[in-house]
């Protein structure tokens, strides 16, 4: 009609009526008439009848069909709309628009499975329809296919990378798929798209607040994931960022925001962020910049302006303000986090829209009090009998019990509320029956959850019923084999009955993916330490035998135990220094003496600042610190630490307490012995001699060490240098060897004295005794024979002695190095280079963990002594190759490697200069 109907509505209406009368079988006529009724006639019923007539005549008509579907939806006639769309899709030529509208209709009705099928059919006709992809993503999230939803959301972003809604939907899909890190990236890209949008004002009014809230939620989820992975610094950063985002929403709402941010959601984010920050409280003492006190105080101010303080906060404020056995300046910040978390949970209660949500808010508040009460305990679950800690935590536990009761009353079907009630009752005195009832109710409310059964197992274990505890843990393990608390409970049971399986069970806790627990870390580290000490004390080779058993792989239990101890001290408060002390023991066992001294230093500081300062605990920490410093060649510091320990022994009743303890006499003996050694290596020989004389008087506490003390005393006397002292050293050692015949270190020392004094008679007598000694792990006899051969100007004889020792022990790198030196003396340069290369190969194999070398763990090979072996081997190899005619380039290579291993060794640089000079 040439557009005339658009200009003259009456004429158009009359024309369509006339056309329908002339030919009632033309679908376009009824479609146009229905559109006229809908747009100009204000008669939706007639419009629907006309459009239905048009669809009856031609169900493939897109315009009439779409308009009819819209009218049905506008009237709320979903059933009629669904029937209409199904009729169109069942036609021979199904229309994509019908599948699309049917999919969104199913999505609105909550039929996500049907919606996904319909939207897939719509996309088969047009793969670039962004709206269909968005609807399909929502459908997949609705049916739980989260990973597929993430892929579909990526397709939405690809179709329009600059659209905020695409990144928003991708972030939501990633959150549903438990990939908070990827979701955070999408939130950041959405913010970038919002900043670059052309219609920035309108887009900001629509998206600014949802993006800020969504990103804050995502940051809290990232904090939870990173805490499980041990990335504690990221936990603090993410939680602080979430608090700052909420503060920005509360403090400076945009004028375009017509609605206030949802209080229940915002304060839930604040609560969760405070919880995660409190769980990494040890970081704030290491890096005070992570403690954002201003942000927390501002949020507390907003909370105070919105409601009264929590009911129980005033009652427990004085108690919560204490240090709670936390060492450092971050105790006040922990208190601020506690207060803010409690206020946030309290503000969620009136903002809840249902009894279930209100119950969850009460449970959050109770969890705050309960978790804060556990800060009184040094190690959770291991100090339930600590009466002082239990008494101090009772007010907080009483507040938590009231909150848990309110949560149960509001929602008796909540497993979390019953579980919290059981946990609180478990820590309270004479509340075991209530705890058992609460855990049983929680297991009934959540029959597929392992948590109530695990907590019930801990309750039975706490009261000494190992059989019932084992049954409860077994039931929990059937429900969730990957639950860390289940494995931890089994490990604690095995530890309590002295089973050898406890180490494997603690290791299983350690190796669970994405899970960690302070008790599991501490338990595994302590059990590996006991295993190493037991292996060392069981054999005649001492602790070194235990080291060799633990050094065959870089992933050995000792390395994993060190990691566990490091993770424990990084996460736990460790107020009394037990974790740092255990870490020092493990590092010392692994030969990392410098790091062990640092750990012992922290343990001593914690012990000195505790209530037991000046007592036996501080003395023990000083003793371990001094021992590690002496092993790390920090002799001056070791002497100072031993001196402070001696001052503690002289003041108070520390020495009396030590002697009264079982094994205290042996501890005092080893303390004085270590003091004497530190003085000896520090050059204070007179003081060292006095200490060793004191050691001899205390040798009854460790009679097996008496010959060792005799040898050390002789070495101190010899080092004094005078003829009188050296004669006394010889006489004392001869008398000691008369009492302890066949003692190898003493005989070797006498042999060395004979060599130094050129006493052939003494050398011969001692040599005959040395040849009868069995068991020489350090190969003292062939070494002494080789030195004797050198003094007799017989390098070939010395080489033969070393070669015989190598036939018995070919894996000793130091013997290969000694053989290389003798080959060089004998002008056998090729053999010297080969022996040095063999020593270096053994060193490299031990570094890779393929072969133990001299009972030294792989990490201990990084100390100066072992690096000296490697540097010396390369230096010998370089000199030997330089002396030959065809090894100039290889000599330079060996010298360069020697410099790389020991850049502080002058001999390595001299070899490099010599090799370069020979090449010129």
Residue 477 confidence (pLDDT) above 70: yes
> Is 36 within 8 Å of 16 (Cβ atoms)?
yes
Q: Which pLDDT tens digit goes with each residue over 761-789? A: 777 777 777 766 666 666 666 777 777 77
Of the spans 161-165, 299-303, 426-430, 634-638, which averages the highest pLDDT?
A: 634-638
Residue 502 sits at φ, ψ, to 5 deg, of: -65, -35
Band of residue 679 on the pLDDT scale cut at 50, 70, 90: confident
The lowest-confidence range among 332-336, 387-391, 396-400, 822-826 is 387-391
Among candidates 525, 515, 625, 628, which has minimal Cα distance to 568?
525
Half-sphere exposure of 851 (CA within 13 A, CB side): 13
pLDDT of 458 over the 80 cut? yes
Lowest-confidence range among 86-95, 278-287, 368-377, 846-855? 846-855
pLDDT greater than 70 at residue 659: no
Distance CA 396, CA 315 (A): 9
**Confidence (pLDDT) at 242:** 93
pLDDT score at 552: 44
**DSSP assignments along 415-444, one per residue:** HHHHHHHHHHHHHSTT-HHHHHHHHHHHHH
**pLDDT above 80 (res 919):** no
For residue 723, what are its two tokens? Answer: 């003829």
pLDDT tens by residue, 897-907: 666 766 666 66
Q: Print the SS3 string covering 800-864.
A: HHHHHHHHHCCCCHHHHHHHHHHHHHCCCHHHHHHHHHHHHHHHHHHHCCCCCECCECHHHHHCH
Q: What is the mean pLDDT of residues 607-612?
A: 71
Residue 884 burial (10 A CB sphere; 0-12, 13-18, 19+): middle
Q: Return phi, psi of residue 329, to 5°.
A: -90, 5
Q: What is the pLDDT of residue 891?
A: 60
The pLDDT, as a whole number, for residue 9 is 55
DSSP state of 77: -
pLDDT band of 378, cuts 50, 70, 90 = very low
In this predicted model, what pLDDT tens digit does every residue of 86-137 receive, in sequence order? 677 766 556 777 777 778 778 888 888 888 888 888 888 788 888 888 888 8
Lowest mean pLDDT among 1-5, 190-194, 395-399, 821-825: 1-5
Q: Pick the more confident residue, 544 or 26.
A: 26
User: What ranges in 632-684 are assigned the alpha helix state H?
Assistant: 635-650, 654-660, 664-681
- For residue range 832-847, what is the model confidence (pLDDT) as tens digits? 777 767 766 665 665 5
**pLDDT over threshold 80, residue 199:** no
Q: How many C-beta atoms surround the C-beta of residue 697 within 10 A?
A: 10
pLDDT value of position 191: 87
Task: Look at 768 and 173; give whichever has higher pLDDT.
Answer: 173
Residue 515: is its pLDDT beyond 80?
Answer: no
Q: pLDDT category, 850, cuts 50, 70, 90?
A: very low
Q: How far is CA 857 from CA 489, 709, 862, in A?
A: 31, 27, 10
Residue 856 pLDDT > 50, yes or no? no
Q: Is the pLDDT of residue 702 over 80?
A: no
With a pLDDT cut of 70, the percent of the chain lying above it is 66
pLDDT score of 84 more than 60 = yes
In this predicted model, which residue has the larger pLDDT, 155 or 779? Answer: 155
Lowest mean pLDDT among 9-18, 515-524, 824-833, 851-860: 851-860
Average pLDDT, the chain: 74
DSSP 8-state assignment for residue 114: H
pLDDT of 216 = 92
In the predicted structure, residue 544 carries a pLDDT above the cut 50? no
Q: Is the pLDDT of residue 663 over 90?
A: no
744-756 and 760-770 helices cross at what angle (nearest 10)? 160
Q: Please give the average per-residue pLDDT across 804-824, as a whole number.
A: 72
Segment 375-383 shows an average pLDDT of 42
Give yes or no for residue 176 having a pLDDT over 80: yes
Residue 218: which pLDDT band, with cuts at 50, 70 and 90?
very high
Query: H or E element: which one contains 699?
Result: none
As a whole number of angstroms, the distance between CA 15 and CA 390 comes to 92
CA distances (Å), 236 to each of 441, 563, 571, in order?
36, 21, 12
Most distant CA atoms of the chain, gap in Å: 143
58 and 79 in contact (C-beta within 8 Å)?
no
Distances (CA, A) of 218 to 55, 166, 173, 337, 516: 48, 17, 12, 20, 21
Query: DSSP 3-state assignment of 152?
Result: helix
Q: What confidence score (pLDDT) does residue 849 get?
A: 47
φ, ψ for residue 894, nearest 5 deg: -65, -40
Q: What is the structure's pLDDT at 328? A: 40
Question: Of all residues in the chain, what percent carry a pLDDT higher than 90?
Answer: 7
Would you state the structure tokens that stand for residue 223, as one six-digit string?
């904090």
pTM score: 0.69
- Residue-by-residue DSSP string for 734-780: HHHHHHSTT-HHHHHHHHHHHHHTT-HHHHHHHHHHHTT----TT-H
With a cut of 80, say whether residue 478 has pLDDT above it.
yes
């Amino acid at each position: 009609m040439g557009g005339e109907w658009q200009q003259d509505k009456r004429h158009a209406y009359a024309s369509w009526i006339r056309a329908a009368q002339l030919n009632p079988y033309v679908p376009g006529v009824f479609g146009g008439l229905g559109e006229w009724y809908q747009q100009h006639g204000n008669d939706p019923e007639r419009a629907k009848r006309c459009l239905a007539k048009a669809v009856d005549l031609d169900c493939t008509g897109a315009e009439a069909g779409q308009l009819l579907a819209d009218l049905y939806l506008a009237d709320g006639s979903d059933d009629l709309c669904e029937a209409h769309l199904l009729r169109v899709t069942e036609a021979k030529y199904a229309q994509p628009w019908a599948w699309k509208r049917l999919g969104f209709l199913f999505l609105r009705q909550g039929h996500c499975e049907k919606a996904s099928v319909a939207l897939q059919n719509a996309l088969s006709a047009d793969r670039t329809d962004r709206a269909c992809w968005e609807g399909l993503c929502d459908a997949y999230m609705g049916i739980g296919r989260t990973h597929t939803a993430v892929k579909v959301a990526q397709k939405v972003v690809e179709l329009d990378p600059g659209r905020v809604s695409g990144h928003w939907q991708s972030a939501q899909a990633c959150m549903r798929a438990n990939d908070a890190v990827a979701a955070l990236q999408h939130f950041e890209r959405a913010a970038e798209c919002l900043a670059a949008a052309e219609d920035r004002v309108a887009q900001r009014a629509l998206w600014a607040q949802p993006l800020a809230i969504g990103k804050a939620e995502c940051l809290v989820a990232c904090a939870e994931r990173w805490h499980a992975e041990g990335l504690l610094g990221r936990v603090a950063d993410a939680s602080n960022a979430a608090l700052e985002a909420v503060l920005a929403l509360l403090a400076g709402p945009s004028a375009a925001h017509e609605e206030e941010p949802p209080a229940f959601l915002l304060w839930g984010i604040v609560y969760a962020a405070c919880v995660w920050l409190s769980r990494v409280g040890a970081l704030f003492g290491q890096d005070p910049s992570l403690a954002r006190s201003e942000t927390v105080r501002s949020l507390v101010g907003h909370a105070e302006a919105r409601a009264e303080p929590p009911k129980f906060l005033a009652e427990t404020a004085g108690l919560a303000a204490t240090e709670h056995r936390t060492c450092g300046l971050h105790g006040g910040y922990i208190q601020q986090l506690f207060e803010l978390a409690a206020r946030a949970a309290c503000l969620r209660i009136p903002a809840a829209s249902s009894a279930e949500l209100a119950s969850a808010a009460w449970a959050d508040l109770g969890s705050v009090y309960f978790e804060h009460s556990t800060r009184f305990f040094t190690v959770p679950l291991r100090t339930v009998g600590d009466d002082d800690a239990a008494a101090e935590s009772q007010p907080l536990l009483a507040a938590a019990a009231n909150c848990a009761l309110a949560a149960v009353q509001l929602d008796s079907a909540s497993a979390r509320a019953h579980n919290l009630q059981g946990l609180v009752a478990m820590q309270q005195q004479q509340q075991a029956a209530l705890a058992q009832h609460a855990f049983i109710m929680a297991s009934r409310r959540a029959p597929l959850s392992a948590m109530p059964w695990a907590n019930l197992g801990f309750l039975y274990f706490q009261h000494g019923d190992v059989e019932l505890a084992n049954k409860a843990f077994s039931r929990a393990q059937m429900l969730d084999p990957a639950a860390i608390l289940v494995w931890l409970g089994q490990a604690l049971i095995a530890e309590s009955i002295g089973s050898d399986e406890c180490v494997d069970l603690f290791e299983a806790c350690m190796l669970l993916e994405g899970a960690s627990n302070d008790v599991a870390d501490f338990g595994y580290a302590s059990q590996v330490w006991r295993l190493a000490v037991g292996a060392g004390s069981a054999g005649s080779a001492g602790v070194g035998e235990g080291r060799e058993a633990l050094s065959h792989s870089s992933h050995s239990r000792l390395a994993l135990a060190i990691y566990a101890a490091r993770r424990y001290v990084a996460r736990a408060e460790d107020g009394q220094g037990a974790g740092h002390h255990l870490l020092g023991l493990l590092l010392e066992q692994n030969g990392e003496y410098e790091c062990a001294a640092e750990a012992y230093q922290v343990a001593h500081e914690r012990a000195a600042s505790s209530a037991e300062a000046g007592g036996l605990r501080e003395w023990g920490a000083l003793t371990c610190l001094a021992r590690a410093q002496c092993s790390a060649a920090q002799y001056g510091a070791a002497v100072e630490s031993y001196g402070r320990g001696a001052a503690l022994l002289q003041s108070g009743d520390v020495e009396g307490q030590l002697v009264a303890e079982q094994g205290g006499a042996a501890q005092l003996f080893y303390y004085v012995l270590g003091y004497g050694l530190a003085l000896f290596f520090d050059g204070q020989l007179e003081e060292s001699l006095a200490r060793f004389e004191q050691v001899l008087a205390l040798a009854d506490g460790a009679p097996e060490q008496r010959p060792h003390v005799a040898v050390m005393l002789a070495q101190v006397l010899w080092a004094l240098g005078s003829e009188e002292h050296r004669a006394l050293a010889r006489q004392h050692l001869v008398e000691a060897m008369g009492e302890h015949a066949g003692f190898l270190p003493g005989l070797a020392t006498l042999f060395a004295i004979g060599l130094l004094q050129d006493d052939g008679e003494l050398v011969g007598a001692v040599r005959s005794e040395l040849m009868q000694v069995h068991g020489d792990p350090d190969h003292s006899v062939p070494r002494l024979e080789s030195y004797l051969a050198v003094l007799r100007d017989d390098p070939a004889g010395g080489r033969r002695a070393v070669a015989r020792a190598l036939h018995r022990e070919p894996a000793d790198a130091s013997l290969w190095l000694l053989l290389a030196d003798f080959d060089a003396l004998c002008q056998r340069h090729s053999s010297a280079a080969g022996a040095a290369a063999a020593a270096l190969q053994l060193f490299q194999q031990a570094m890779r963990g393929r072969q133990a070398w001299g009972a030294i763990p792989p990490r201990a090979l990084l100390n100066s002594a072992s690096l000296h072996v490697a540097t010396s081997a390369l230096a010998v190899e370089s000199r030997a190759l330089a002396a030959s005619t065809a090894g100039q380039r290889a000599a330079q290579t060996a010298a360069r490697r020697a410099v790389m291993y020991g850049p502080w060794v002058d001999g390595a640089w001299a070899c490099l200069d010599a090799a370069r000079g020979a090449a010129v």
